[in-house]
Amino acid sequence: MKVLAAMSGGVDSAVAAARAVDAGHEVVGVHLALSRMPGTLRTGSRGCCTIEDSSDAWRACEKLGIPYYVWDFSERFKEDVVDDFIAEYAAGRTPNPCMRCNERIKFAALLEKALALGFDAVCTGHYAKVLENADGDPELHRAADWAKDQSYVLGVLTHEQLKHSMFPLAETPSKAEVRAEAERRGLSVAKKPDSHDICFIPDGDTRGWLEERIEMSEGDIVDAEGATIGRHGGANAFTVGQRKGLQLGRPAADGKPRFVLEIRPKENKVVVGPERMLAVDRMKGIKVSWCGKPIAEVDSGTEFDCMAQVRAHGDPVDARARVIAGEDGSPLLVVDLLEPMRGVAPGQTVVLYQGTRVLGQATLDSARSTERPELVDVAG
């Protein structure tokens, strides 16, 4: 096959490309220039898609003996990921930019261009696996190493995208083995730190970054009963479940810490309360999509057993889910949790699993607290 290897400049993508070469594929490496500041340098494990990463990707391709190109997707990345991130926070939601990047850049824009150029598949260093079911249709499953599993951030992939996706690290038992393999192959990225946090906020100061891009104004911090107990410098910079940075002058009656329960951008208010009020037992999701072909219950509207996960490395929770029609006719995903989940925020992504298989995903629109049922309005 003719394979386009997405080279991030990290050890995972380098080893994935090497394995694709070993498998006999015709491999071409490409690095996506996503930063609008190409001179940006990496700082330890913070940031990615920098000029240093581009150089590391080039050196890996040189070592593997494959062609190397840089494709400028910075404008698309700004519009589809960065601007979306800002808009979501401005609306009081907590987005996952990695989901948007995989959905709109790596497995939409990149794959679309790759197929137009005659490639058969896109290869990445994600820890996840694509398996064929009895009907020959692709399914996305968790990787062998659950600690490194990245199937959650790939839950946005469609059936057609899965058909052209290749994840050579799927069966690798640990990241240590990937680094050891890179060392044996003489790849200079063998000991390079993993990137983490949001790639376009390399210093990790999300609040400071947002304050430069969203108009912030002071407002009230209120408790669950609506009583004002403090002031904030901008509601949009907070997220549900947050504990630090509240700067409340008056302690809670029980002396226990308080957490952000809700953000009300129209009122410019932040609602706080005890940790127990973060527990939710029902979620409603919009922008529903199915990873591979949907299971039969989706079309019939029948409730089905599954596991729900709302963070990349969060623990999945047993659940029952169903698809209903929204007021505008678009599908809504309703997920009832068999045990409460803590700190669920609108804007997060819920990914559904059956066993190791990824069923699909939705963007959370609302969640019902076990102690504050008035927070949610779920049809059906």
Encode pLDDT of 275-291 as tens digits.
999 999 999 999 999 99
Pick the CATH number of 279-375 from 2.40.30.10, 3.30.70.980, 2.90.10.10, 2.60.120.1440: 2.40.30.10
How does strand 2-6 pair with strand 26-33?
parallel
Q: Is position 101 annotated as part of the catalytic site?
A: yes
Lowest model confidence (mean pLDDT) among 152-166, 190-204, 223-237: 190-204
Token readout for 355 is 């066993």
How does strand 279-290 pair with strand 269-273?
unpaired
Q: Is position 199 annotated as part of the catalytic site?
A: yes
- Residue range 216-273 forms a domain whose CATH class is mainly beta
Percentage of the chain with pLDDT > 70? 93
Residue 37: predicted pLDDT: 56
Q: Domain limits of the chain?
A: 2-185, 216-273, 279-375
pTM for the full model?
0.89
Catalytic residue among 48, 61, 98, 199: 199
What region, left, alpha or beta, does residue 49 occupy, with left being phi > 0 and alpha being psi -120 to 50 degrees?
Answer: left
Position 44 pLDDT exceeds 60: no
Q: 324-347, pLDDT tens digit by residue?
A: 988 888 999 999 999 999 889 899
Residues 6+ away with beta carbon under 8 Å from 69: 28, 29, 30, 31
- Residue range 2-185 forms a domain whose CATH class is alpha beta
Catalytic residue among 48, 49, 98, 101: 101
How does strand 228-232 pair with strand 279-290?
unpaired
Contact assessment for residue 174 and residue 143, using Cβ atoms and an 8 Å cutoff: no
Q: Which helix (H) or strand (E) holds 137?
A: none
Q: What three-state secondary structure class fits 278?
A: helix
